[in-house]
Amino acid sequence: MPHPPIKAVIPAAGLGTRFLPATKAMPKEMLPVVDKPAIQYVVEEAAQAGIDDILVIIGRNKNAISNHFDSVPELEEKLKDKGDTDRLRRVLESSDLADIHFVRQGEPKGLGHAVLRAKAHVGDSSFAVMLGDDLIDERDELLTTMIEEHRRTGAAVIALMEVPQTHIHLYGVASAEPTEHDGIVKVNGLVEKPSAEDAPSNLAIIGRYVLSPAVFDILERTEPGKGGEIQLTDALQELAADPDGPGVYGVVFRGRRYDTGDRVDYIKAIVQLAVDREDLGPDLRPWFKDFAANL
Ligand code: UTP
């Protein structure tokens, strides 16, 4: 029997305080990474994994995101008249990627609260949560493996990455044990933003999750946790601790990931993606070498 389709939920309603003042009037998910807003990479990644129904959770400054995925007839006409087919193709791409829906999160009460806003749209199918400021390089596979693992186990599946001790306090962190499958771990517990001393491992949750709707019932009664926010990690901890449920599994990602909500990572993302591009790399590479040599 074919598997029921998976929808994607992209939370993009955070305040983006680390990027102020750039995010004063614009969501951080709209910051350009080379020549596309960060969130477009995430939508492309979902489409690449075969997902064609996407719900974006938006906050204040909502229009920037919805406008981006809408068609802009005047602009399209202008490019057509000028015969600029390459730019026209790229403009059309952003509105043709998937069926994109929007729902508001009235107040940014945390990632768990943002995900709960997707309950009505998701219904009773499984869904992927993809953070709108977290980019996975398209050359490195992750989401398809997570979806397969979810279908195999029926469990919640999270993406994990080894991070240095100095960064561990910025993440949800898993205590986990290996399974018979390479790169897949069984998660025994999760803790949101622990201190380095309290962290159960160096495996941090990165912004991809594949979940079943059971998580909504838990989120509905999840109290505010770290930072006074309703944390998705706390709801997942409950799933991991339930001896009668399918539990939580982690896919350990070893590829390229860029957290564009962090200024240093954002700059690294632009540099790495730009130097690898055929249209920009040849000009940039010698310039970077020269620049680095004089640092
Ligand atoms: P972050 O913690 O990275 O977002 O949330 P933030 O709060 O905007 O960041 P800073 O620390 O103030 O710079 C992870 C993801 O969850 C979304 C964010 O948009 C981001 O994609 N989020 C967070 C929501 O949609 N709603 C919330 O209430 C909180």
61 CA distance to ligand 1 centroid (A)?
14
Q: Closest residue (by CA) to atom 2 of ligand 1?
A: 14
Hey, where are the domains in the chain? Answer: 7-261
For 7-261, CATH gives 3.90.550.10
In angstroms, what is the span from residue 289 Cα to ligand 1's centroid?
35
Span 203-261, pLDDT tens digits? 999 999 999 999 999 999 999 999 999 999 999 999 999 999 999 999 999 999 999 99
As a whole number, mean pLDDT of residues 164-179 equals 95
pLDDT at 20 over 90: yes
Cis, bond preceding 164 (omega within 30 deg of 0): no
- Give the ligand 1 atom nearest the CA of 110: 28
Residue 9 near residue 123, CB atoms below 8 Å? no
Assess whether the C-beta atom of 113 lies below 6 angstroms from ligand 1: yes
Taking all residues of the chain, what is their mean pLDDT, rounded to a whole number? 93
Closest residue by CA, ligand 1 atom 1 = 14
Torsion sign (Cα): 113, 130, 191, 211: positive
Residue 274 clears pLDDT 80, i.e. is over it: yes
Closest CA to 232 of 193, 186, 181: 193
Q: What percent of the chain has pLDDT over 70?
A: 100
Confidence band, pLDDT 50/70/90 cuts, at residue 1: low
pLDDT at 61: 75
Question: Residue 105: CB within 6 Å of ligand 1?
Answer: yes
Residue nearest to atom 4 of ligand 1 (CA): 14
> Which ligand 1 atom is nearest residue 19's CA?
13
Write the DSSP string, 78-136.
HHHHHT-HHHHHHHHHHHHSSEEEEEE-SS---HHHHHHTTHHHHTTS-EEEE-TTEEE
